């Protein structure tokens, strides 16, 4: 059987709800929920702070770093465990040093997700913020990017894919344009787990942040921060504790190597167990198969909605330039009201925004089915 067309919906839920809000928080495989339950029982039985539990936890942390490293093609020690995408962004925003005439380049200002906008905006007392102007889908002009880029550019911070239009930005091209004195940060919350095979090395980024609870189908409170081994000395940790530093000469502190350097006090062990189980499930299905399934479902939804006279679609026409996000409005209807009406029919979508424009966002994942998409289309037509 072609895995890209396989129905795995029963592995994720047994309710009558159609869940199309995976760009926010995805459903988890039922096996991951069971894995978390089994872990808690075992952890509690052996004694949460016992000699036995220490080796047990160390193995779990090592396992999840290995599998995430496999998904992004990095070294396991380059994977730092956090609580969210936002955590990783703030590690960079608050850990970098800025010279007197330095600048950073971001894209689209308020078109960007708040988590990848506010931390950079807050730095404007320390450094100049340069903004790339965008088109209606959120793409920018590379000639303008080249103009803004100079020897004083400390950092370029870009989303890999956009939460509102689903546009996939050319991060590899950006990475190839940067000189050694400019660091590169990628917010990949909207790509890891849904975009297919991914190689962080090809992006030439120094830092990347994403989470486990969107397209990786892990639990809430699980985040991942990639730090290139050659780049960690560019950052001072924003928190410090016994896990991340050590004393020498009685009073002087030295930071440990990565991943410990940025991972003070991490305790969400049960979340990591759930994430490991989900990541294993996704790898078994195949990242390219996930991408194919997602494109099929989103193309079907987009194509059928485009036939409805009063529906306005947003995002790139070319499916290769977008994720499975399908954003739309119905002329004359309030997006919030649309989402509320659909949820009463057991269909879960979300309200988001493109600049000041409120929109309805659907974001199918590979466990959704063709029949679900067709049911959603009928429901929207009948609003």
Q: Domain of 343: which CATH number?
A: 3.90.1150.10
Give kind and range of the element (H or E) at residue 146.
helix 142-148
CA distance 358 to 50: 52
The closest alpha carbon to 381, from 341, 324, 322, 326, belongs to 341
In a domain? residue 272? yes
CA atoms lying within 13 Å on the CB side of residue 190: 26
pLDDT under 50 in the chain at which residues? none
In a domain? residue 26? no
267 and 344: one domain? no
User: What is the model's pLDDT at position 267?
Assistant: 85
219 and 294: one domain? no
Choosing from 265, 284, 303, the residue where a domain stops is 284
290 and 277: one domain? no
Number of structural domains found in the chain: 2
The closest alpha carbon to 74, from 204, 221, 191, belongs to 204
**Residue 186 belongs to a domain with what CATH number?**
3.40.640.10
In a domain? residue 228? yes
Choosing from 269, 284, 299, the residue where a domain stops is 284
In a domain? residue 25? no
Output the DSSP codes for 237-280.
-SS--TTTEEEETTTEEEEPPTTGGG-TT---HHHHHHHHHHHH
| Domain boundaries, position 338 | 3-20+286-381
228 and 91: one domain? yes
* Separation in Å, CA 294 to CA 9, 57, 191, 243, 262: 13, 34, 12, 40, 34
249 and 347: one domain? no
219 and 317: one domain? no
Residues sharing a CB contact under 8 Å with residue 221, sequence separation 6 or more, in sequence order = 83, 84, 213, 268, 271
219 and 296: one domain? no
In a domain? residue 173? yes
User: What is the model's pLDDT at position 247?
Assistant: 83
In a domain? residue 27? no
274 and 363: one domain? no
Residues sharing a CB contact under 8 Å with residue 330, sequence separation 6 or more, in sequence order = 310, 311, 312, 338, 360, 380, 383
User: What is the model's pLDDT at position 1?
Assistant: 54
163 and 78: one domain? yes
Choosing from 228, 249, 284, the residue where a domain stops is 284
Pairing of strands 350-354, 357-362: antiparallel
79 and 174: one domain? yes
251 and 103: one domain? yes
The closest alpha carbon to 254, from 269, 273, 240, belongs to 240
252 and 292: one domain? no
User: What is the model's pLDDT at position 64?
Assistant: 97
User: What is the model's pLDDT at position 14?
Assistant: 75
In a domain? residue 178? yes
In a domain? residue 151? yes
């Amino acid at each position: 059987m072609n895995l890209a067309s396989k129905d795995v919906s029963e592995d994720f839920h047994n309710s009558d709800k159609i869940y199309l809000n995976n760009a926010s928080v995805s459903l988890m495989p039922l096996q991951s929920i069971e894995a978390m339950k089994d872990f808690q029982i075992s952890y509690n039985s052996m004694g949460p702070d016992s000699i036995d539990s220490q080796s047990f936890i160390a193995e779990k942390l090592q396992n999840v770093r290995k599998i995430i490293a496999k998904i992004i093609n990095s070294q396991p020690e380059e994977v730092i465990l956090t609580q969210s995408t936002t955590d990783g962004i703030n590690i960079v925003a608050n850990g970098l040093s800025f010279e007197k005439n330095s600048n950073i380049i971001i894209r689209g200002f308020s078109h960007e997700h708040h988590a990848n906008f506010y931390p950079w905006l807050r730095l404007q007392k320390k450094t100049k913020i340069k903004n790339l102007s965008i088109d209606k889908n959120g793409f920018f002009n590379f000639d303008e990017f080249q103009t803004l880029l100079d020897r004083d550019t400390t950092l370029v911070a870009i989303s890999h894919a956009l939460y509102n239009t689903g546009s996939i930005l050319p991060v590899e091209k950006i990475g190839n344009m940067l000189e050694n004195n400019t660091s590169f940060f990628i917010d990949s919350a909207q790509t890891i787990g849904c975009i297919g095979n991914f190689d962080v090395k090809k992006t030439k980024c120094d830092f990347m942040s994403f989470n486990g609870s969107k397209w990786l189908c892990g639990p809430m409170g699980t985040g991942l921060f990639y730090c290139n081994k050659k780049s960690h000395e560019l950052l001072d940790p924003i928190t410090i504790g016994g896990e991340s530093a050590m004393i020498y000469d009685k009073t002087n502190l030295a930071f440990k190597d990565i991943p410990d350097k940025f991972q003070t006090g991490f305790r969400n062990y049960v979340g990591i167990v759930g994430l490991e189980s989900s990541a294993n499930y996704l790898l078994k299905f195949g990242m390219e198969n996930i991408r194919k399934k997602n494109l099929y479902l989103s193309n079907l939804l987009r194509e059928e909605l485009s036939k409805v006279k009063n529906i306005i679609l947003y995002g790139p026409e070319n499916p290769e330039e977008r994720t499975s996000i399908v954003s739309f409005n119905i002329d004359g209807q309030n997006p919030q009201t649309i989402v509320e009406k659909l949820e009463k029919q057991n269909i879960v979508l979300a309200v988001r925004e493109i600049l000041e424009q409120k929109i309805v966002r659907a974001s199918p994942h590979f466990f959704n089915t063709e029949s679900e998409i067709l049911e959603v289309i009928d429901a929207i037509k009948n609003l």
